[in-house]
Structure 1
Amino acid sequence: MILRRPLLVLLTLALAACAPLRPPSAEKRYSAAELLALKPADLSWPAASTDGERALRERALAGIRTRLALPPGPERDAALPALFDAVAQYNAEIDAARPLLLEALPTLGSRDPDMQRALLTAAHTLYPAESAPLLWPLLPQLTASKPFGIAAYTLLRADPGAAPRLAALLPQQFPAWADDPRLTALMQRLQPIAAPQPPLAELLAAPLRPGYPVIVSLQRPGRQQMGLALVRAADGRFVRDAAGRLFASPQLALARSGLPGTLTNGNTPQGLFTIVGAGTATNPNIGPTPYLHSKLPIEATPAEFEHVDATGAADWSEALYESYLPESWRGWAPFKEAWLAGRAGRDELLVHGTTINPAYYAGSAYFPGTPQQGCMISNEDWDPASGRLLASRQLALAQAYAAAGARADLAGYLIVVELPGDGPVTPAEAQALVLAAGR
């Protein structure tokens, strides 16, 4: 299937984020057979060509410059969220935009929570060190947990030694913090558990719910390096190629903001998701390659999560989430980040491809990854002349998953788990874990 959109539409949507995804009623959904029949040459995206990408970038840079030139006042204030989103995506005009953020931060106490969230996210993403002195006096004015959390993580990014001070302040400002999933996650960060990570081999071997395929996304703590996605078939065996090599496809689970997974536009949370099918996105940064539709707890009903009829389905609880996990992992808090993220309202964190030019992030530790807003992203190669898809790690992953499940509805599960270490996750590390899981 060839999906074409007029370039003008793509330009208009150029700054759209990974979430929310709001597909039109005519969105294409894929059965396993349809997904397996696709070839890269079937897909094209005009804005991924050299000319199309240049037009998008020039339009975005012109928008940045226009917003930077606005005089102080309500119009400029309203333009700040889009300004900093574009600055972060294109790695452009970072120095020129800095004064506008530092000028706005002290005023955030009187702003609505959405404006607070947007500008505090910019502080965390782009200017943590410069913002930190302005955030300490602002913290008592942040009465919603989401802006408070973003400010606290920014202070931690600027100075990890700030943890004790923040741990003392949090319960004073939010006495019922334990009932808020964002603040629960923040307190876990401020007072980390001493327990070691349970054996990864036990998680990789866990049946979850027998008879369903599983994608296992191995990621580094901090998400600043490329991870690897593996596929476990419905029969429990990990997918290999004809030569016996383990299928292990590079995948990035880093958001541009670098915020934790319980916060809007933060990294992909660690934990268990369900997969409920595949479809095409309306977001121009994702492009036409089918995404796998992964859902968090709460976002998916218990019946949808378990792929059963709704009749007699239980209500969501932490115990229900834990019931999918091997016993050794049920009490380990970091792997419940997905549970907390679902409670916090995060949704539409998809497994998808990308049309963003990796050159924007040249020199980064995660290059050639292209972070967006918290989804799991696989790189794709687009023909510079036509915008036709040449090669896609996303399509390869989706097809490996579809073939491994032998289910027309593509139902299954996704595990996102952090693997201690430095540098990109390597196939050798993945192979060792799979061998241990087999034993």
Structure 2
Amino acid sequence: MIARLLLTLLALALAACAPLKPQPTTEKRYSAAELLALRPADFSWPAMSTAGERAQREAALADIRARIALPPGPERDAALPKLFDLVAQYNLEIDAARPLLLQALPTLASRDVDYQRALLTAARALYAAPNEAAVQAALQPLLTQLTASKPFAIAAYTLKAMNPGYAEFIRDLVPRQFPQWRDDPRLVALMGDVAPVRMAQPPLADLLAAPLRPGLPVIYSLQRRGRADMGLVLVRAADGRFVRDASGRLFAQPQLALSRSGLPGTITNGNTPQGVFTIVGAGTATNPNIGPTPYLHSKLPIEATVAEFEHADSSIEWSEAAYESFLPPSWRAYSGIKEAWQAGRAGRDELLIHGTTLNPAYYAGTSYFPGTPQQGCMISNEDWDPATGRLLASRQLTLAQTYAAVSPRQDLAGYLVVVELAGEGAVSPAEAAAQVLAAGR
């Protein structure tokens, strides 16, 4: 019975961070008071027990090997997108899967856009270092044949990640291949990424002190550029002061905003985009990789109406100026903080603040361990009892309750700001505290 259940969960686990709805279901929503009443022991997840996790992993491994063993032909071609998703999620059989991807890349120009996107995303996820020259040799000519902006941008970002020298090639190619590129948010973001000169980031203190909309709390997610290291999450109360404990120590706990693909935030299943989100409540997801711990429901511009961003009645239509109104003046011309705006325009949605039911051991040895990257959401670690699958401790629940405790409204209305910091290594509490101190001045 448990094996059958886990196979079903595995089939669902490959979707994005959005709550899955495979059948009609009523999702539990939480008020601030309900959220504050929860305890870790209220939650359990069978797949997080040692036996459950092993069964899920073995099912994934069997699926991967069955797909790799398929002979060349239409059946194997159809099996590749899910194969590469499983390989990236579980870090299994990567060396066996890479040759199949390398064989498929030169054929992508004749494939449909969704297939192109899936395999190009896999190229970015699975070829961070090995055989880069072979992948570059396949992607550079392919780039000139791609006519849809999403797969084009994915291929371009992958080429540049492997060799920054491709920036000029991409910068020259975009206007020739897409004359109307300024109307496409993905290409606008891409051209900003390959620009020869970038605007310096404004003072972070200005952003940390910005009112956004007075009287509402704000979550700040401080992340490194590239997202390969763990970030930190802070909470600013409705009165404008950052949350501290009884000893005066700043609330600052680890959070990962890295996707498995490592692609930028305007790309489907890419990293969490920089910028301002609105928070519109809390709920329990149906995605098995998120698990039962309540998520905070964050929304991008466009995905949310202007009224949802204002948390008040509004008849205003979305525009870049409307988005900029949530930023302090010093940040309004900075393109980096507008990634959330461009991501919303590009159709990204349901990037939630949530916990995780993925085993950190899958990512042992990475710079972001014990983080568990997924498909673009903001993820806090959780500890599960290996014997029973019951939740023992949850940074996600701690974050959600810290936010709820300073929320003046039961609907948890407020904001999320994701911003990147220069530097290397995990963002430290001391670094965050120094920035908060500067904002206080």
- TM score, norm. by length of structure 1: 0.97
Sort the Cα spacing of 1:72 and 1:124 in 2 relative to 1 into closer, same or farther, 3 A: same
SS of 1:316 mapped into structure 2: coil
Residue pair 1:7, 1:46 contacting (<8 A) in 2 also? no
How big is the shift at 1:7? 6.1
Name the amino acid aligned to 1:106: P
CA distance in 1, matches of 2:354, 2:14: 15
**What is the match of residue 429 of structure 2?**
427
Residue pair 1:167, 1:187 contacting (<8 A) in 2 also? yes
CA distance in 2, matches of 1:17, 1:256: 12
**What is the match of residue 301 of structure 1?**
305
CA shift digits 1:276-308 (9 cap, x unpaired): 000001111100000000000000011111111
Sort the Cα spacing of 1:359 and 1:67 in 2 relative to 1 into closer, same or farther, 3 A: same
CA distance in 1, matches of 2:199, 2:267: 24
**What is the match of residue 166 of structure 1?**
170
Residue pair 2:120, 2:155 contacting (<8 A) in 1 also? yes
**What is the match of residue 66 of structure 1?**
66
Sort the Cα spacing of 1:192 and 1:235 in 2 relative to 1 into closer, same or farther, 3 A: farther
1:261 paired to 2:265:
yes
Name the amino acid aligned to 1:223: R
**What is the match of residue 16 of structure 1?**
14
How big is the shift at 1:116? 0.1
Residue pair 2:2, 2:52 contacting (<8 A) in 1 also? no
1:246 paired to 2:250:
yes
CA distance in 1, matches of 2:35, 2:17: 23
How big is the shift at 1:194? 3.3
Residue pair 2:267, 2:343 contacting (<8 A) in 1 also? yes
CA distance in 1, matches of 2:18, 2:75: 25
CA distance in 1, matches of 2:50, 2:408: 38
Name the amino acid aligned to 1:19: C
CA distance in 2, matches of 1:20, 1:324: 25
CA distance in 1, matches of 2:317, 2:6: 41
How big is the shift at 1:145? 0.2
SS of 2:144 mapped into structure 1: helix
1:197 is aligned, of 195, 201, 207, to 201
Q: Name which of structure 1's ranges 382-391 and 24-33 shifts more when overlaid on structure 2.
A: 24-33
Residue pair 1:18, 1:285 contacting (<8 A) in 2 also? no
**What is the match of residue 288 of structure 2?**
284
How big is the shift at 1:137? 1.3
CA shift digits 1:131-181 (9 cap, x unpaired): 111011111221000000000011111111111111111111001111100
CA shift digits 1:370-426 (9 cap, x unpaired): 000000000000000000000000000000000011310011000000011111000
1:390 paired to 2:392:
yes
SS of 1:294 mapped into structure 2: strand
Residue pair 2:14, 2:85 contacting (<8 A) in 1 also? no
CA distance in 2, matches of 1:354, 1:393: 10
How big is the shift at 1:16? 2.5
**What is the match of residue 228 of structure 2?**
224
CA distance in 2, matches of 1:66, 1:10: 18
SS of 1:169 mapped into structure 2: helix
CA shift digits 1:183-222 (9 cap, x unpaired): 0000000105432111100100000000100000000000
CA distance in 2, matches of 1:397, 1:19: 18
CA distance in 1, matches of 2:198, 2:213: 30
CA distance in 1, matches of 2:2, 2:342: 40
**What is the match of residue 32 of structure 2?**
32
Residue pair 1:296, 1:339 contacting (<8 A) in 2 also? yes
RMSD: 1.2
How big is the shift at 1:269? 0.2
5 Å matches for 1:48-127?
Answer: 48-127=48-127
Q: Name which of structure 1's ranges 23-32 and 79-88 shifts more when overlaid on structure 2.
A: 23-32
CA distance in 2, matches of 1:351, 1:317: 25
Unaligned 5+ segments in structure 1 are none
**What is the match of residue 369 of structure 2?**
367
SS of 1:141 mapped into structure 2: coil
CA distance in 2, matches of 1:272, 1:136: 34
**What is the match of residue 345 of structure 1?**
347
Residue pair 2:356, 2:380 contacting (<8 A) in 1 also? yes
How big is the shift at 1:11? 2.7
How big is the shift at 1:242? 1.2
**What is the match of residue 326 of structure 1?**
328
How big is the shift at 1:73? 1.1
CA distance in 1, matches of 2:113, 2:306: 30
CA distance in 2, matches of 1:372, 1:398: 19
1:179 paired to 2:177:
no
- Percent identity (aligned): 74
Residue pair 1:17, 1:372 contacting (<8 A) in 2 also? no
CA distance in 2, matches of 1:49, 1:13: 14
Q: Name which of structure 1's ranges 24-33 and 149-158 shifts more when overlaid on structure 2.
A: 24-33
Sort the Cα spacing of 1:7 and 1:412 in 2 relative to 1 into closer, same or farther, 3 A: farther
CA distance in 2, matches of 1:53, 1:204: 40
CA distance in 1, matches of 2:300, 2:117: 22
CA distance in 1, matches of 2:357, 2:201: 35
CA distance in 1, matches of 2:390, 2:139: 46
CA distance in 2, matches of 1:40, 1:7: 25
How big is the shift at 1:125? 0.8
Residue pair 1:381, 1:390 contacting (<8 A) in 2 also? yes
Which of structure 1's runs of 4+ aligned residues deviate more than 2 A?
Answer: 5-11, 15-25, 192-195
Residue pair 1:16, 1:284 contacting (<8 A) in 2 also? no
Residue pair 2:355, 2:381 contacting (<8 A) in 1 also? yes
Unaligned 5+ segments in structure 2 are none
How big is the shift at 1:6? 6.5
How big is the shift at 1:243? 1.3
Name the amino acid aligned to 1:46: P
